Amino acid sequence: MNNTTQKNTNPTVLEIKNLVTEFPTRKETFRAVDNVSYSLKAGKTLCVVGESGSGKSVTARSILQILDAPGRIVSGEILLHTQGGKTLKENPIDLVRLKSRSRAIRSIRGREIAMIFQEPMSSLSPIHRIGNQIAEVLQLHEGLSKKQAWARSVILLEQVGIPEPEIAAKRFSFEFSGGMRQRAMIAMALACNPSVLIADEPTTALDVTTQAEVLELIKSIQAERNMAVLFITHDIGVVAQIADEVVVMKKGKVLEKGDVFNIFKNPSHPYTQELISSARELDQPAIQRLEARARQKIGKPILIAENVRKEFVISSGMFGLKAKKVAVGLKDASIELHAGENLGIVGESGSGKTTLARCLQRIYDNTAGKINYTDRNGKSVNLGELKSNQLRPYWRDIRTIFQDPFGSLNPRMTIAKIIGEPMLVSGELSGRELDMRVEELLELVGLPASAAQRYPHAFSGGQRQRVAIARAIGPKPRIIIADEPTSALDLSLRSKTLDLLLTLQDQMDLSFIFVTHDISVVRYFCDRVAVMYKGEIIEVGDSETVCTNPKHLYTQSLLSAVPKPDPMQRSNKRIIYS
Amino acid sequence: MSETSKKVKTQIEAQSKKDNASQWRLMWNSFRQHRLAMFGGIIILLFYTIALFAEFIAPFDPHASTSKNVYHPPQLIKFIDYDDNGSWSYRPHVQLMKLDRDTITLEGKFSPVQGRKVYLKLFTKGDPYKMWGKFNLSRHLIAPVNPDERFYLFGADRLGRDMLSRTIMGTRISMSIGLVGVALSLFIGIILGGISGYYRGVTDTIIQRIIEIMIALPTIPLWLALSAAMPQDWSTTTRYFAITIILSLVGWTELARVVRGRFLTLKSEDFVIAAKLDGGSQWRIIFRHILPSMTSHIIAAVTLAIPAMILAETALSFLGLGLQPPAVSWGVLLLEVQNIRSIAAGPWLFLPGAMVLIAVLSLNFLGDGLRDAADPYARKDH
């Protein structure tokens, strides 16, 4: 291989020129990629950033000609300047000219240009061993024997940092964790030593700490092999951490491209400015919240959880003869929520944060512990021991906003019916009065009165979440438990939704319990935060203190893994907690 | 009101009217995309119309036999009538045919009688009948101008009865037995499936084991045993209802499973939990939130269950254990083709079988389309 001579230079490996990709349907033609040009250089990372539907993935899929039907490339060139490790100086290969099922493009897929996807579970076959899947690539492209290929795949697994690669190679994809699967995917992509790696949101489905590991892995492999990386993401923080060059896309068009430091320093396009500023805005306390707290101090505790424990029954044993098998979802958690306070619960997936929130509201029955709620008249009740029909009045005081705005609204009811439901079933309002109240609630969350007669499918994610908020505040509650209400939304909508919640808090004397995995949201929205790890609360404190000066080693590792939306803050060493 | 709120409002107001569409509108839109299902739907609609107005549409009394027209072959309707002198006019007719016997072999053979035509007319008087067993009428959709003449579009059977009229009358019983049977199994299925899915636990286990036992029983012997146990002196109507009950006793299991499955998935949906937190009672959650989300799935399941019922009735009647003559169903008509002589003498006696085929296929297409359209909110991108 002669790329040792090119180690310090960065020749252009892949060039996209004026690419146009369309999806023709019977009624109209949708132009998913509109005149896009960018180029990849060896050893450099190009990040394509944009919201969902911006055409960033379609561009990448056009390169390998793996577009979903009926998509097709209409015009433009995709020039590959390298083959088999050699630079093609005179006549590069135009990938657009190759037929999508031809032998020529097949020899380029996986060999010259490899791709990794967002969801490794669906990209890996569940019925073949990991080692065999990697070996198959080697047998096909490199013509190795079965034995040689297996040996190489074990080496590859070792290179991507999978412990005990000989044993891991014999496992199936479902036996791996999310991060491990993504590592295996990367090993498979690297099998033929490609000169270009396309990574399509490879870390979106992963926790922050795992994301940091995978990003580090890609970086180190890139440096080792002088590979060009095309990294597609919607997370501006990730861009700031790994990119050399940035392409900002919206609605199929390139809005801006350039060096990462320049773009973050002086973004020229208003959309880029908004993208960067909304990410930075979230990384500090909301001014609105600080002002409100200066006006009104936080009150006494109104919801106190003492040693709340939740066990999930996995198997009750055949006819009750064997001992029950249980999984502990929550280990003796204790927290307090004060009146007028925003309490954050933060943790990675599986840490028990949603379980805790659901126990507090008795959606789940807690196995042990007390949940003491002090009502408006100062009377205290233990919600943990009430029967479900006794809980109804308390469910009016403690309301919920769900994570998924698509699943939480009944698609067969109009917005007016959805919002009016709690007032109607309690017999509080009906008829004309109820319509008036619904209109008032819609006004409060910034939706027009005409929305009332529509069905949820007519609204976008952000608008639906506003409907969910209107439903939550309908019965004039005191506490709202919000379970990741912003994680399904695009970045630009997140701070707007959070601001709406803060405004409502001011108007209606609300207290929030805010469940999230996103530490920047905590800093913006929450006064205090509880950090959870494996079903336990490991640290509780003032959110600024926890975010800037965490005590527990896990919190430190979590914070160090969060990608900061500033390319100047890259050198921060990551803390690893095991 | 903040700047962003204003923006959101104008955005929403700008959206088109079609966003106001209810779930039925959305279902209809996606159903229309399914060509084969639309086609099946039209055929099924046609069959039920025929079943409803069977006496009027059938040209003759299905029980009237004519000895001279035994095994009369099918005839074609001709619309243009040529005179002897070459001029023509629009007069629908069929060529009259007459039975001749070979003088040596005594084999019967129908041959056209030159120059003799049977003229047909729409909405004319023919054999008298009782519409829906109530009104005495005698007009038919199509009948010979001369009420003493006969024509056979589907041929005639061994007693010279018009097969077309018999097939049309059979449509009524065969198509309705599917509906009635499914209605009954739907009733049992929704109740038991609903209980099973909503209450879970021991109740669920018991109901599921019962369903598994029902499915494991071999159906044909079970039907045979049950129908053999029916007293011979029961009237046609009683027998008809007894047969539907027998068929639905086996048919409910599949529907119960569909209902239970939907209950289990819907119970853990966020919007159902939200309804619970809104303070709704158990009845309200089941009837206002869970059941409306299931109706479309149930309709699809029902459509797919009807063909099984039709086939079961046909099978039972074919074996002579279902409906008995003089009741006419497709299965009863197919009884006629059990011997080789009928096949040799009148292959057109198989036509009721073709009707079964068309009905079952159309119902399956329709059910497929309904099932695909059943959930207009299913996210296609996942």
3-state secondary structure A155-222: HHHHHCCCCCHHHHCCCEHHHCCHHHHHHHHHHHHHCCCCCEEEEECCCCCCCHHHHHHHHHHHHHHH
Contacts of A2 (CB under 8 A, 6+ apart): A85, A86
B113 contact partners, CB below 8 Å, separation of at least 6: B95, B96, B97, B98
Residues 6+ apart with CB under 8 A from A106: none
Using the Cβ of B358 and the Cβ atoms of chain A, whether some distance falls under 8 Å is answered with no
C-beta atoms of B279 and A408 within 8 A: no
Q: Which fold has domain B43-51+167-378?
A: MetI-like fold (1.10.3720)
* Ranges assigned E (strand) in A262-415: 301-315, 325-338, 342-346, 368-374, 380-382, 398-401
Confidence of residue A572 (pLDDT cuts 50, 70, 90): low
| Domain chopping of chain B, boundaries | 43-51+167-378, 67-159
CB B306 within 8 A of CB B248: no
What is the total residue count of chain A?
578
- Position A4 scores a pLDDT of 44
Average pLDDT score over residue span A324-332: 81
CA dihedral A9, A13, A17, A22 (to 10 degrees): -150
Three-state helix/strand/coil letters over A236-295:
HHHHHHHCCEEEEEECCEEEEEEEHHHHHHCCCCHHHHHHHHHHHHHCCCCHHHHHHHHH
**Tally of CB atoms within 10 A around A324:** 11
Of the ranges A114-128, A437-451, B13-27, B82-96, which one carries the lowest mean pLDDT score? B13-27
**Hey, are the CB atoms on A408 and B271 less than 8 Å from each other?**
yes
Confidence bin at A6 (pLDDT 50/70/90): very low
List, for residues A363-403, the tens digit of each pLDDT value.
888 888 889 998 888 888 888 888 878 888 889 899 999 98
For the four alpha carbons of A383, A389, A393 and A396, in that order, the dihedral sign comes to positive
- Does residue A248 register a pLDDT over 80? yes
CB contact (8 A) between residue A425 and residue B8: no
A vs B: CB pairs below 8 A = 95
- A207-224: string of b/e by CB count within 10 Å (b at 16+)? bbbbbbbbbebbeebbee
- Whether B268 and chain A come into contact, CB under 8 Å, resolves to no
Handedness of CA B184, B185, B187, B192 (dihedral sign): positive
Contact between chains at B274 and A404 (C-beta distance less than 8 A): no
Mean pLDDT of B164-171: 89
Question: Does residue B379 have a pLDDT over 50?
Answer: no
Instruction: Please indicate if any CB of chain A lies within 8 Å of the CB of B291.
Output: no
The mean pLDDT of B84-96, rounded to a whole number, is 80
Over residues A88-107, mean pLDDT: 81
Name the residue of chain A whose CA is nearest to B291's CA.
A412
Share of chain A above pLDDT 90, in %: 26
Most A-contacting residue of B12, B262, B276 (CB-CB within 10 A), to test interface: B12
Res A117 pLDDT > 90? no
Mean pLDDT of the residues in chain A:
86
Residue of A nearest to B375 (CA): A411
CA distance A376 to chain B (A): 19
Q: Please judge whether A408 and B8 are an interchain contact, meaning their C-beta atoms are less than 8 angstroms apart.
A: no
Quote the Cα angle for B100-B101-B106, to 5°. Answer: 165
Band the pLDDT of A482: cuts 50, 70, 90: very high
Name which of A404, A450, A500 is nearest B270 (Cβ-Cβ).
A404
Count CA within 13 A, CB hemisphere, residue B120: 22
Secondary structure class of A458 (helix, strand, coil) = helix
What's the token pair of residue B131?
């519409």
Predicted TM-score (pTM) of the model is 0.77
Q: How confident is the model at residue B7 (pLDDT cuts 50, 70, 90)?
A: low
Q: What ipTM is given for this predicted complex?
A: 0.77
- The per-residue pLDDT for range A397-409, each reduced to its tens digit, is 999 999 888 888 9
Angle between the N-to-C axes of helices B351-373 and B23-32, in degrees from 0 to 180, rounded to the nearest 10? 130
Tens digits of residue pLDDT in A408-418: 898 888 899 99
